[in-house]
Amino acid sequence: MLVEAQNCNWAAKHLGRIYCHWSETMVTATLDHAFPKLTEEELRLLEPMASCEYVNDGDYVFRAGQADNDLFVVKSGAIEIRNPADNNALVAVHEVGGFSGDVDIIIRRPSIVNGIARGRTNVLRVHNTRLQEVMIKIPKLSEKLLIAFQMRREFLSQLERVGFSIIGCGLCSDTTLLREFMHKNFVPYTWFDKDSDVGKAAIEKHGEFPIVQKPDGTTLVRPDLQDLAYECGLWHECPSQSVDLAIVGAGPAGLAAAVYAASEGLNTLVLDKLGPGGQAGGSSKIENFIGFPSGLSGTELAMRGVLQMVKFGAKLIAPTRVEKFKPGATAKDPHELTLDCGAVISAKTVLIATGVTWRKLDAINALQYERAGVYYACTNVEVM
């Protein structure tokens, strides 16, 4: 693996801080975990679940935004990872034994980067629908993949420009809601204030804000959350379906329940009006959660929970609201939840994990300034 277009100081500052160390040794170790190589034994175990393909020099192995975000493992040649939000700048190179992907591949969302073959390249391609099988059948590889995917998302999120761009006013509640939505759903974005050069040019062209620009240049003006979720690849058509367990609320309690249920083989569906994390997602650092003595952010906690539940086959639908709840007539009859998209979920068991409603500021016009100067969270979204 080669990390290019990033110098050692950058790596020390951003990757090294994951472990709160700044030494060159620790940076190297961090990079090794973010960009490991598969062993011959792991490749042998993976081959029955993959197809062998060849890609010519300069051709795309995968593109940002494409629906099928598969796992590619390099057998010969190399894959260049390029950032379309920054003029296709080179970010990293996966050499023999290296593999593509970050958390989006597990959550089944489109990639935010491009993969281009360097030289004629032979890859093992694991279709997204078989990743859960890989995770379960090859536990050691599962651990390697999950650690790398999380660290790569951290790596990408620290780039000066990556993924989507959001343009608006820091004291605009609509703009803050879009940023909060992206933050909660682990979607990297670059924020431009309306008074920045980029902001002024965009607002002059489109006349109003907030504005969301996709990596491919497509522009959304004042999108609602449903539209934004669709464009980010977060929203997949939610058909009416029957499940063993429906969980309303994707905070720590809801995510924990989903992990336990799915790991026992229950068909589990999690619903949330905004995205995973709940009240914990509004914290920049949690130090009283058992098992994490050095603390972690609410976003990290939510990401780990989502990856864990998806690993076992649970599904997350967000943003969506439960418009109607109809209990089963008898103990043997399923319950029904009608969602705002029109889908009807029939569930043997429904767990309501909607959390708490915290006390709000008792001041004149406080509601008017919510998400526009009055905040009930402490993440980088609220820092203007």
CATH code at position 222 = 3.40.30.10
Q: Is 379 within the bounds of a domain?
A: no
Is 50 exceeded by the pLDDT of residue 361? yes
d(CA 346, CA 338): 9
Is 60 exceeded by the pLDDT of residue 155? yes
Work out the mean pLDDT of the chain and round it to a whole number: 87
**Are residue 69 and residue 10 in the same domain, yes or no?**
yes
**pLDDT at residue number 8:** 42
**pLDDT at residue number 20:** 33
**Are residue 11 and residue 132 in the same domain, yes or no?**
yes
H or E element in which residue 52 lies = strand 51-55
Q: Which among 157, 191, 221 is the end of a domain? A: 157
d(CA 60, CA 79): 9
d(CA 274, CA 229): 10
d(CA 120, CA 59): 9
| pTM of the entire predicted model | 0.82
**Are residue 215 and residue 302 in the same domain, yes or no?**
no
Structural domain span for residue 39: 2-157
Residue range 5-11: mean pLDDT, rounded: 41
**pLDDT at residue number 138:** 93
Is 70 exceeded by the pLDDT of residue 29? no
Rounded to 5, what percent of the chain is helix, strand, coil?
35, 25, 40
Residue range 313-336: mean pLDDT, rounded: 95
Q: Which among 157, 172, 206 is the end of a domain? A: 157
In tens, the pLDDT along 101-146 reads 999 999 888 999 999 999 999 999 999 999 999 999 999 899 999 9
